[in-house]
């Protein structure tokens, strides 16, 4: 059982951006939070402070998602601090190491992005779900994975990123089928163009393209747009929709003539 009355959520990539927004929203919704990130411990301090301000207990966990041998110790420390994990939010990921011609894609760059975005996420999820199945809890259990519209929309200059997200999306579908009869909900969130530190370097480009009509909604997405959806899925508002893919992109991925 959980150490407290509140369910426990683990959010990866929680030091900033979408991950931090999700963690804060979950805290406000009644969760205690494990904030896992590759960031230095001092960089997790303001993130923990923001989440604790919602009334949540927090545990800051520094680990490298790509280093599979770090998963077990991180999860053990988190469970010792807050209790068993009821909700996993797979948010951590990285963009293309180097944008450029698909025909010049370097194997080491491909391997790096697959190790983080796909391999690391898959095997972390495997461990967390095994713990969920082995430990009783009075709380709803779920796995929410943040992918990208790039799981379905091709960008040849960053094909490695697109491939990693497409693979992650297929993993979610397989996981949803595997867990459908267990009561553990499995969901995929596909953000579009979201205003975060990751997109800061291409902000001017997307400002222009949004003004030209790229996004039907006519604006950037914000981290809170993703966080609100995550809370709804986590708390059971869409309990019968396991395996669902939710586009959070202002209509970007809709087919148009």
- Clarify whether 31 is annotated catalytic: no
The rounded distance, in Å, linking the Cα atoms of 76 and 143 is 18
Exactly one of 31, 161, 187, 206 is catalytic; name it: 161
pLDDT in tens, 203-219: 999 999 999 999 999 99
pLDDT in tens, 75-127: 999 999 999 999 999 999 999 999 999 999 999 999 999 999 999 999 999 99
pLDDT in tens, 35-89: 999 998 888 999 999 999 999 999 999 999 999 999 999 999 999 999 999 999 9
Per DSSP bridges, beta strands 58-62 and 87-90 are unpaired
Residues 141-169 as b/e (b if ≥16 CB within 10 A, e otherwise) read bbbbbbbbbbbeeeeeebbbbbbbbbbbb
Which residues make beta-bridge pairs with 10? 34, 88
The rounded distance, in Å, linking the Cα atoms of 166 and 160 is 10
Residue 50 neighbours by CB under 8 Å, 6+ apart: 20, 24
In order of their start, the domains of the chain are: 8-248 (3.40.50.720)
Q: Kindly report the pTM of this predicted structure.
A: 0.95
The rounded distance, in Å, linking the Cα atoms of 178 and 164 is 21
């Amino acid at each position: 059982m959980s150490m407290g009355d509140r369910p426990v959520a683990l959010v990866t990539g929680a030091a900033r951006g979408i991950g931090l927004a999700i963690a804060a929203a979950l805290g406000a919704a009644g969760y205690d939070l494990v904030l896992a990130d590759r960031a230095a411990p001092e960089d997790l301090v303001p993130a923990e402070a923001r989440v604790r301000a919602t009334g949540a207990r927090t545990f800051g966990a520094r680990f490298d998602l790509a280093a599979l041998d770090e998963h077990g110790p991180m999860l053990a420390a988190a469970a010792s601090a807050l209790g068993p994990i009821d909700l996993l939010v797979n948010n951590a990921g990285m963009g293309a190491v180097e944008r450029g011609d698909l025909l010049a894609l370097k194997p080491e760059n491909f391997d790096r992005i697959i190790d983080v975005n796909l391999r690391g996420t898959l095997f972390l999820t495997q461990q967390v779900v095994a713990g969920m199945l082995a430990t009783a809890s009075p709380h709803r259990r779920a796995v929410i994975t943040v992918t990208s519209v790039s799981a379905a929309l091709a960008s040849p200059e960053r094909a490695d990123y697109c491939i990693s997200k497409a693979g992650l999306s297929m993993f979610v579908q397989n996981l949803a089928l595997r867990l459908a009869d267990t009561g553990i909900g499995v969901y995929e969130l596909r953000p579009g163009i979201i205003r975060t530190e990751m997109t800061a370097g291409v902000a001017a480009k997307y400002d222009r393209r949004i003004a030209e009509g790229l996004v039907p909604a006519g604006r950037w997405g914000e981290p809170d747009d993703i966080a609100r959806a995550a809370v709804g899925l986590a708390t059971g508002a869409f309990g019968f929709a396991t395996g669902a893919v939710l586009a959070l992109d202002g209509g970007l991925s809709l087919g148009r003539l």
